[in-house]
Structure 1
């Protein structure tokens, strides 16, 4: 389940490429006074993700921008919606960094995963490989790091295995289940690697991620439910910072069955 939020710019402004933590802060602010008020300080997964503010270009007063926020938690989406509608009715300014808007409209969307579908990542998927798994994947980092961000120079199976493990952990935690992991991602297309600068705990850090298309055929049962969960909660790590936001794509793609990076 997700919300499409339409904004209108209150002034001329350059697009802020480091919007991640600022939009995150705005979203957490919407939860104050609700039963989700402590979500920011809660350890573990937050079970929501959000898109970039699009289109990602400089704006002039009156320009329309949009973003999406998604979660498998309907109660959380309801709180976001109620607060955004209140802000819209009051005509209050929304400040995301140096960008200032009013909320024009809020729409509820319920995209569903079908038996066959393509998931396209709208924001980079972040996967960290822990030190304990270096030897498993033949990873030899230049320094003794506790983890490395997956990048295309590292083995492809390291990305898929860590991605699947992360998704099963989130799924089991959210639903209170103990589903054993099994292969989920069978056909995939690597698009590009990216590096984002984000502020975490008051410090600017580099976060490496990658953009993908994942192709699924004949989804049914538990697997279909897990992929629907991935669409709602986001893929990979740092979802509540805006990473791993995913959309259903209707576009045609070239399928690489072995997942070979070209």
Structure 2
């Protein structure tokens, strides 16, 4: 399930003055004194994700922007909707915004996806080394094998099942580019490596639809609760499918 928050800025400032850590902190603040209050401190997977704030441009007074928050848990999304319904103004970093509209909708994964935010995957988690395609390392087999393993572990942790996808995670893909993301958390700044995809396509079997719908809402790869690995349905596929 997904929640779209439409809001307007109460001042002018640079787009990058609000980062993913600010958005994550805002979401955690809404979970205080609720059944999800332990999400902030729990280890392991946190089953929610969010988009970039869009459109991507500097914030201007009274100009409308949007943010999408997604989760396989409808209770989680409905709780955020309820909390925000009782608020007129909220804060990200030191800036204030006025809520214009909230919209809930059930999300369904199509056969063709695009990455809405960079997808991050550890190459070696013990060494805190992220997978990179730079330097001629185009080992897509290794990348998608690790990505599939991460997706299955995430799904089984959420459902308590022992699900195994009996095929490749995707049938076809179109790589876009690799990006480096500078994150500042508690005054500490570090670089993270991620990648963007023009298309990730799969002829989804009916028996696997629940798995892909889960991934659509929780995201691909690592650090989903920081807004990485967010997925959107591919509009190009929708046009071609008509």
TM-score of the pair, normalised by structure 2: 0.91
Say whether the 8 Å CA contact 1:11–1:61 is kept in structure 2.
yes
CA distance in 2, matches of 1:225, 1:240: 20
Q: How does 1:155-234 map to 2 (within 5 A)?
A: 155-182=139-166, 183-200=168-185, 202-212=187-197, 213-217=199-203, 219-234=204-219
The structure with the largest alpha-carbon Rg is 1
Partner of 1:7: 7
Paired residue for 1:148, among 109, 129, 137?
A: 129
Extract unaligned runs of 5+ from structure 2: none
Q: How does 1:123-134 map to 2 (within 5 A)?
A: 123-130=117-124
Shift of 1:201: 5.8
Q: How does 1:41-190 map to 2 (within 5 A)?
A: 41-87=41-87, 91=88, 93-114=89-110, 117-130=111-124, 146-153=127-134, 154=137, 155-182=139-166, 183-190=168-175
- SS of the counterpart of 2:114? strand
- SS of the counterpart of 1:16? helix
- SS of the counterpart of 2:152? helix
Q: CA RMSD in A?
A: 1.8
Shift of 1:17: 5.6
CA distance in 2, matches of 1:17, 1:151: 26
Shift of 1:235: 0.6
Say whether the 8 Å CA contact 2:48–2:71 is kept in structure 1.
yes
Partner of 1:142: none
Say whether the 8 Å CA contact 1:184–1:223 is kept in structure 2.
no
Say whether the 8 Å CA contact 2:165–2:208 is kept in structure 1.
no
CA distance in 1, matches of 2:5, 2:188: 29
Cα distance, 1:204–1:222 mapped onto 2, change above 3 Å? farther
- SS of the counterpart of 1:251? helix
Say whether the 8 Å CA contact 1:187–1:215 is kept in structure 2.
yes
What is the CA deviation profile of residues 15-47 of structure 1, one whole-angstrom value per residue up to 9, with x for unaligned ones? Answer: 126510001000000011111111110111110
CA distance in 2, matches of 1:200, 1:165: 28
Between the two proteins, the alignment pairs up a number of residues equal to: 233
TM-score of the pair, normalised by structure 1: 0.84
Shift of 1:185: 1.3
CA distance in 2, matches of 1:229, 1:202: 34
What is the CA deviation profile of residues 84-106 of structure 1, one whole-angstrom value per residue up to 9, with x for unaligned ones? Answer: 1111xxx2x32212432111111
Cα distance, 1:107–1:49 mapped onto 2, change above 3 Å? same
